[in-house]
Structure 1
Amino acid sequence: MPKLIHCRWLLLGLLPLVTLAQGQENAPNPQLLSDTDTWTSPRYALQITPYAWVTGLSGESSPFKRAPTLDIEKSFSDVFHDLRAAAFINTWARHDRYVLNSDLLYVNTRESEVVGGLPFVGAAEGTVDTRLFMASLQGGYRVYDSEQASVDALAGFSFWDIRTRAHLTTAGRTKHHQESFSWVDPAIGLRAFYRFTPELSTQAQIHLGGFDVGSRMSYQATLTLNYDLSDNFSVAAGYKMLNVNYRRSGHVFDTRMSGPVIGLTWRY
């Protein structure tokens, strides 16, 4: 029930931008803006945004099948301390009113801890490497478009892949154990954009998925404030949330990540 309430609040958060967009439909614009999201071409648009995400991690996880479920509560400093590699990139493309969006997330961490109850191993002390990869791809249609605002409806899927490898020492012997599991979530989404001035704009995006097909439920939402540095580059700063609840075949991955984001967008 709390997760459904969160989703409801996220949807309500998009309403102000949608209302602003509708209010601008017949309003004159003092400056001609060629496109609302890339400002370069009225028919074609492409923008690529690598970004940094200052996120913590909470929830519960059992990456090893039949292993006990562990509670997770990590601040950003904890996550950063264990981080080996991370990459985040968002791509947006448009042709006329047809749009395509992809988002890639990769996080690789290593932590030292005592692990108990692993299959074929038992209690042991050592290091655990965890790799999280998520790729979402959604296509859609621009349901509203003006010189100052736009609203896009989206549908697609998200692919999740979790891989865990343990290097464990027990009774004077070192053992290695590796497992992986993956799933695909259907997803729907909504994106709203509004320009305040020729340089300053805001964007909100939300995706809902899972629906007990892959995970029980997943959602992500991003709200950013954007500033144009030039015709081809802009910076964005805001907040991002990601929540997924997967429980199948003895694996549990029920986690929440949230925190500030900052990105640099290249437009064509």
Structure 2
Amino acid sequence: MNFKKSACAASTITLTCLLASAASAQSLPPPGQDDEGWRHTLGFYLFTPLRTTGTSTVAGVSADLDLDLGDVLEVLDFAAAGRYESWNGDFGIIVDANYVGIEEDATLPGPIGASVNVDVRQKWFGILGAYRIADGTYGAANQRYTIDLQGGIRYNSIRQEIDITTPGPTTPPVLGGDPGWVEPVIGARGMWRLNDRWTAITSLDLGGFGAGGNDLQIGANIGFDYQPWDRTAITFGYRYFSVDFSDTLSTGAFAYDVTQHGPYFGLKVFFN
């Protein structure tokens, strides 16, 4: 295998692995939370993709990806994500932050003994407004449901850098780069209370729309909140994620076009 392709693939594994799910916080107040005045939810999430497929490009060299969860976990360095929502009546404010990174070292085969460092980081920070367009009941038990729409902006940054060090006085240039951009984000979410402990959730968010080279980023979730305690819920479900980003840097074409799917897990805390 060409080493550039191998390093490029490793970087994209990290960029797209364990991204936090944009699973819901609460337009539907959980059992036990006061529905009057401001209400708040703080959530922490982990997305574990069972399959990652697509194409990564660094310095004009592309590599096809077809990875399972074990491949992803082998290269993970650190991932963290959180989501805060504050609601008053039908209006909400959402802050969404995500970070994932890897720094991996390797030695090239052959007598030269060159070493390689692959440094990859992805982070985004989003601020959205939300409006609850439906709030009603369904079924014989008159369980409550809500539907809300969301929209705002997100700062997104992707780093894919490959640094090759060789013996001797010359130093090869670092391949890749660290582009960042601001993009629009829109979303929709439905929540259906099943009983005093369980809530079903579906959500869809779309971002990019060509801004900064991000043609389209899609996140779709279906899952549940299970609330065994008054102010805390366990959230879990299944997520689909795809992104199609491309740019031209000083070292050449830089891109990744990746699709993932797998379970997500998280914890949510409610307070007034």
Q: TM-score range by the shorter chain?
A: 0.7 to 0.9
Q: Distance in 2 between matches of 1:183 and 1:114?
A: 33
Q: How many residues align?
A: 224
What is the TM-score normalised by the length of structure 2? 0.74
Q: Report whether the alignment pairs 1:85 with 2:78.
A: yes
1:143 to 133, 138, 145: 133
> 1:37, 1:193 within 8 Å by CA — same for their partners in 2?
no
Question: Cα deviation per residue 1:182-235 (whole Å; 9 max; x = unaligned)?
Answer: 122212110110001011111111111222233111111122211111110111
Partner of 2:266: 263
- Tell me what 1:181 maps to: 179
For the structure 1 residues 111 and 48, does the alpha-carbon distance in structure 2 shift closer, same or farther, using more than 3 Å as the test? Answer: same
Distance verdict in 2 for CA 1:144–1:137, change over 3 Å: same
Once structures 1 and 2 are overlaid, which stretch shifts more, 246-255 or 229-238? 246-255
The offset of 1:241, in angstroms, is: 2.0
Q: Do structure 1's residue 60 and structure 2's residue 58 form an aligned pair? A: no
Is the CA contact 1:150–1:193 (under 8 Å) kept in the aligned structure 2? yes
Q: Which among 98, 103, 119 is matched to residue 110 of structure 1?
A: 103
**In structure 2, what residue type is equivalent to 1:85?**
F
Which residue in the other structure is 1:30 paired with? none
Root-mean-square deviation (Å): 2.4
* Unaligned residue ranges in structure 1 (runs of 5+): 1-34, 116-123
Conserved 8 A contact 2:53-2:66: yes
Q: Distance in 1 between the 2:163 and 2:55 partners?
A: 21
Match of 1:70 among 63, 72, 76: 63
Q: Is the contact between residue 203 and residue 223 of structure 1 (CA under 8 Å) also seen in structure 2?
A: yes
| Change over 3 Å in CA distance of 1:241–1:188 after alignment to 2 | same
Partner of residue 247, structure 2:
248
Distance 1:91 1:71, change over 3 A: same
Aligned to 2:228: 229
Could you tell me whether the CA contact under 8 Å between 1:38 and 1:46 is conserved in 2?
no
Letter in 2 for 1:76: L
Aligned identity (percent) is 23
Q: In 2, Cα distance between the equivalents of 1:102 and 1:84?
A: 24
Looking at structure 1, the residues matched to 205 and 106 of structure 2 have their Cα atoms a distance apart, in angstroms, of: 34
Gaps of 5+ in 2: 1-26, 109-113, 138-143
Q: Is the 8 A contact 1:167 1:174 kept in 2?
A: no
TM-score (norm 1): 0.75
Q: Residue 29 of structure 2 contacts residue 35 of structure 2 at CA under 8 Å; is this kept in 1?
A: no
